[in-house]
Amino acid sequence: MKLITAIIRETQLNQVHEELIHAEIERITVSRVSGHGRQKREEIYRGQVVVPSLIPKIKIEIAVNDAFVDQTIDAIIRGAKTEGDNVGDGKIFVTNLEQCIRIRTSEKGSEAI
Protein backbone atom coordinates (compact mmCIF):
# COMPACT_ATOMS: atom_id res chain seq x y z
CA MET A 1 0.00 0.00 0.00
CA LYS A 2 1.12 3.53 -0.74
CA LEU A 3 0.08 6.93 0.47
CA ILE A 4 -0.02 9.42 -2.37
CA THR A 5 0.18 13.03 -1.25
CA ALA A 6 -0.21 15.74 -3.85
CA ILE A 7 0.14 19.48 -3.42
CA ILE A 8 -1.72 21.26 -6.20
CA ARG A 9 -3.06 24.67 -7.13
CA GLU A 10 -6.43 25.63 -5.64
CA THR A 11 -7.66 26.32 -9.16
CA GLN A 12 -7.01 22.73 -10.24
CA LEU A 13 -8.89 20.93 -7.48
CA ASN A 14 -12.10 20.33 -9.44
CA GLN A 15 -10.19 19.08 -12.46
CA VAL A 16 -8.02 16.75 -10.38
CA HIS A 17 -11.09 15.47 -8.55
CA GLU A 18 -12.86 14.74 -11.86
CA GLU A 19 -9.82 12.95 -13.28
CA LEU A 20 -9.57 10.81 -10.16
CA ILE A 21 -13.24 9.85 -10.34
CA HIS A 22 -12.81 8.92 -14.02
CA ALA A 23 -9.85 6.77 -13.02
CA GLU A 24 -12.11 5.11 -10.41
CA ILE A 25 -10.17 6.51 -7.49
CA GLU A 26 -12.99 7.42 -5.16
CA ARG A 27 -11.47 7.77 -1.70
CA ILE A 28 -9.71 11.00 -0.98
CA THR A 29 -8.86 13.54 1.71
CA VAL A 30 -8.50 17.19 0.76
CA SER A 31 -7.00 19.93 2.93
CA ARG A 32 -6.23 23.58 2.52
CA VAL A 33 -2.54 24.21 3.19
CA SER A 34 0.06 26.78 2.35
CA GLY A 35 3.61 26.40 1.20
CA HIS A 36 6.21 27.23 -1.33
CA GLY A 37 8.53 25.26 -3.53
CA ARG A 38 11.80 26.51 -4.86
CA GLN A 39 10.88 30.00 -5.90
CA LYS A 40 13.60 30.78 -8.37
CA ARG A 41 11.14 32.35 -10.72
CA GLU A 42 8.30 34.50 -9.51
CA GLU A 43 4.96 32.78 -9.35
CA ILE A 44 1.60 34.25 -10.31
CA TYR A 45 -1.20 33.90 -7.76
CA ARG A 46 -4.59 35.48 -8.52
CA GLY A 47 -3.06 37.69 -11.15
CA GLN A 48 -0.36 39.07 -8.86
CA VAL A 49 3.31 38.26 -8.97
CA VAL A 50 4.17 36.71 -5.63
CA VAL A 51 7.78 36.58 -4.42
CA PRO A 52 8.80 33.83 -1.99
CA SER A 53 6.12 33.65 0.60
CA LEU A 54 3.55 31.10 1.62
CA ILE A 55 0.95 30.50 -1.09
CA PRO A 56 -2.39 28.77 -0.48
CA LYS A 57 -2.37 25.29 -1.99
CA ILE A 58 -4.51 22.18 -1.81
CA LYS A 59 -3.22 18.95 -0.32
CA ILE A 60 -4.73 15.70 -1.54
CA GLU A 61 -4.11 12.43 0.25
CA ILE A 62 -5.02 9.09 -1.28
CA ALA A 63 -4.16 5.67 0.12
CA VAL A 64 -4.12 2.98 -2.54
CA ASN A 65 -3.09 -0.59 -3.18
CA ASP A 66 0.14 -0.86 -5.18
CA ALA A 67 -1.70 -1.72 -8.41
CA PHE A 68 -3.41 1.69 -8.38
CA VAL A 69 -0.37 3.90 -7.86
CA ASP A 70 0.38 4.68 -11.50
CA GLN A 71 -3.18 5.49 -12.55
CA THR A 72 -3.59 7.71 -9.50
CA ILE A 73 -0.44 9.66 -10.31
CA ASP A 74 -1.43 9.97 -13.99
CA ALA A 75 -4.89 11.28 -13.07
CA ILE A 76 -3.43 13.87 -10.68
CA ILE A 77 -1.01 15.08 -13.33
CA ARG A 78 -3.75 15.33 -15.98
CA GLY A 79 -5.83 17.49 -13.67
CA ALA A 80 -3.11 19.55 -12.01
CA LYS A 81 -0.86 20.55 -14.89
CA THR A 82 -1.66 23.96 -16.28
CA GLU A 83 -1.12 24.88 -19.91
CA GLY A 84 2.45 25.74 -20.83
CA ASP A 85 5.38 25.32 -18.49
CA ASN A 86 4.41 27.05 -15.27
CA VAL A 87 6.24 26.90 -11.97
CA GLY A 88 4.01 26.12 -9.03
CA ASP A 89 1.88 23.38 -10.63
CA GLY A 90 2.66 21.23 -7.63
CA LYS A 91 4.24 17.99 -6.58
CA ILE A 92 3.35 14.40 -5.80
CA PHE A 93 4.92 12.40 -2.99
CA VAL A 94 4.59 8.61 -2.73
CA THR A 95 5.29 6.94 0.60
CA ASN A 96 5.00 3.38 1.85
CA LEU A 97 1.89 2.86 3.90
CA GLU A 98 2.34 0.47 6.79
CA GLN A 99 -1.24 -0.27 7.68
CA CYS A 100 -4.83 0.71 7.06
CA ILE A 101 -7.78 -0.22 9.25
CA ARG A 102 -11.46 0.29 8.46
CA ILE A 103 -12.89 1.27 11.82
CA ARG A 104 -16.40 -0.02 11.12
CA THR A 105 -15.34 -3.61 10.38
CA SER A 106 -11.78 -3.83 11.77
CA GLU A 107 -10.68 -5.04 8.32
CA LYS A 108 -7.00 -4.43 7.73
CA GLY A 109 -4.60 -3.85 4.85
CA SER A 110 -5.60 -4.04 1.21
CA GLU A 111 -9.12 -5.21 2.11
CA ALA A 112 -9.68 -2.08 4.13
CA ILE A 113 -8.22 0.42 1.76
Ligand X SMILES: Nc1ncnc2c1ncn2[C@@H]1O[C@H](COP(=O)(O)OP(=O)(O)OP(=O)(O)O)[C@@H](O)[C@H]1O
What SS3 state is found at 100? coil
What SS3 state is found at 108? strand
Q: Which string of b and e fits 43-70 if b means at least 16 CB within 10 Å?
A: bebeeeeeeeeebebbbbebbbeeebee
Question: In the complex, what is the shortest distance from the CB of residue 54 to ligand X, in angstroms, rounded to a whole number?
Answer: 8
Q: Does 87 bind ligand X (CB under 6 A)?
A: yes
Helix axes 69-80, 13-22, angle to 10 degrees: 150
Which position among 62, 79, 88, 113 is part of the footprint of ligand X (CB under 6 A)? 88
43 or 113: whose CB is closer to ligand X? 43
Residue 91: contacted member of Mg ion, ligand X, none (CB under 5 to 8 Å, by partner type): ligand X
Which x/- pattern, by CB under 5 A, does the window 2-41 give for Mg ion?
-----------------------------------x----
Q: Does 55 bind ligand X (CB under 6 A)?
A: yes
Number of residues that bind Mg ion (CB under 5 A): 3
Backbone φ and ψ of 79, nearest 5°:
-85, -25
Residues lying near Mg ion in the complex (CB under 5 A): 37, 87-88
